[in-house]
């Protein structure tokens, strides 16, 4: 923890992400208006003291929708990365521990998945499903596990022949004990860093899908579909595109800074005592 808080990148990323998470959690108390309430008299109002981020084409308060949209965007990112990380750890651990034909089969599957553009694969799958937040989280998770698998496999291959593992194996330790007691805990650093960086990618994917109309559906707010609403009025209602774009930028930047900071802080070769 000392190394993390000594690292300016990690601290900056942590502050950004913490602020966004707090706003998302307390959105019902912070939002000045109902995010789905339509007001004909307040259509496309520019930012002002009453509506600090203006209103959209249905008179809805953009600031309120941004707060509730943060919940959706962050939830999709965190859950999707959780699914991908679980799958990646399972397959990578099996491939790196047992090696042989098991490793060959899993890594060829990884190669096949990596040869397909991920975003287009997600588009193809979503096109056959009903657009919903749960489908998006599952599909992103099921198409994003390859990087974690390769990281875990590499760590297991590196640790497999270390003295402490061989000693435990000589003493009769079972495979599951070797994996969960010795190998996996010593492989957590790249997994944590990859997961943090993966949330940023998942937020971008969700925003892209929502922008194309294949993600979170109206009236539920997400940063992507707020951007979609803004493209129709971009010539005179600039705030509808600017504010969600900045929110996505800051969120992705925060996770990237946190990921880079964690990598430096948790790596014993670069951290300072």
Give 134-186 pLDDT, tens digit per residue: 888 888 898 889 999 999 999 888 888 888 877 887 877 787 888 888 888 88
Is pLDDT of 267 > 60? Answer: yes
- Count of the separate structural domains present in the chain: 1
CA distance 16 to 11: 9
| pLDDT in the model for residue 85 | 93
> What is the CA angle 18-23-28, rounded to 5?
150
Q: Is residue 43 part of a domain?
A: no
Q: Is residue 55 part of a domain?
A: yes
Q: Is residue 78 part of a domain?
A: yes
Mean pLDDT of the chain: 85
Q: What is the CA radius of gyration of the chain?
A: 22
CATH of the domain at 259: 1.10.3720.10
Q: Is residue 45 part of a domain?
A: no
CA distance 197 to 221: 24
Phi, psi of 216 (to 5 degrees): -65, 130
Of 184, 202, 182, 180, whose CA–CA distance to 259 is shortest? 202
Domain range for residue 259? 2-34+50-266
Enter the tokens of residue 150.
Answer: 């390769």
The fraction of the chain above a pLDDT of 70, given in percent, is: 97
């Amino acid at each position: 923890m000392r190394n993390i808080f000594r690292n300016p990148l990690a601290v900056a990323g942590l502050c950004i992400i913490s602020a966004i998470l707090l706003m998302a959690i307390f959105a019902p108390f912070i939002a000045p208006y109902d995010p789905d309430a339509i007001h004909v008299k307040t259509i496309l109002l520019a930012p002002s003291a009453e509506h600090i981020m203006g209103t959209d084409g249905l008179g809805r308060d953009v600031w309120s929708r941004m707060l509730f949209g943060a919940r959706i965007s962050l939830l999709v990112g965190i859950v999707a990365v959780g699914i991908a990380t679980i799958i990646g750890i399972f397959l990578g651990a099996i491939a790196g521990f047992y090696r042989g034909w098991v490793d060959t089969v899993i890594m060829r599957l990884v190669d096949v998945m990596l040869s397909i553009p991920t975003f287009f694969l997600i588009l193809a799958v979503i096109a056959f499903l009903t657009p919903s937040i749960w489908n998006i989280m599952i599909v992103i998770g099921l198409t994003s596990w390859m990087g974690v698998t390769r990281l875990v496999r590499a760590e297991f291959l590196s640790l497999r022949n270390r003295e402490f593992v061989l000693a435990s194996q000589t003493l009769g330790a079972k495979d599951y004990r070797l994996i969960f007691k010795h190998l996996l805990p010593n492989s957590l650093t790249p997994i944590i860093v990859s997961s943090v960086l993966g949330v940023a990618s998942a937020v971008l994917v969700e925003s892209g899908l929502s922008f194309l109309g294949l993600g979170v559906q109206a009236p539920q707010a997400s940063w992507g579909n707020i951007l979609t609403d803004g493209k129709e009025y971009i010539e005179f209602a600039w705030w509808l595109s600017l504010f969600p774009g900045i929110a996505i930028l800051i969120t992705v930047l925060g996770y990237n800074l946190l990921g880079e900071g964690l990598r430096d802080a948790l790596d014993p070769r670069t951290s300072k005592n």
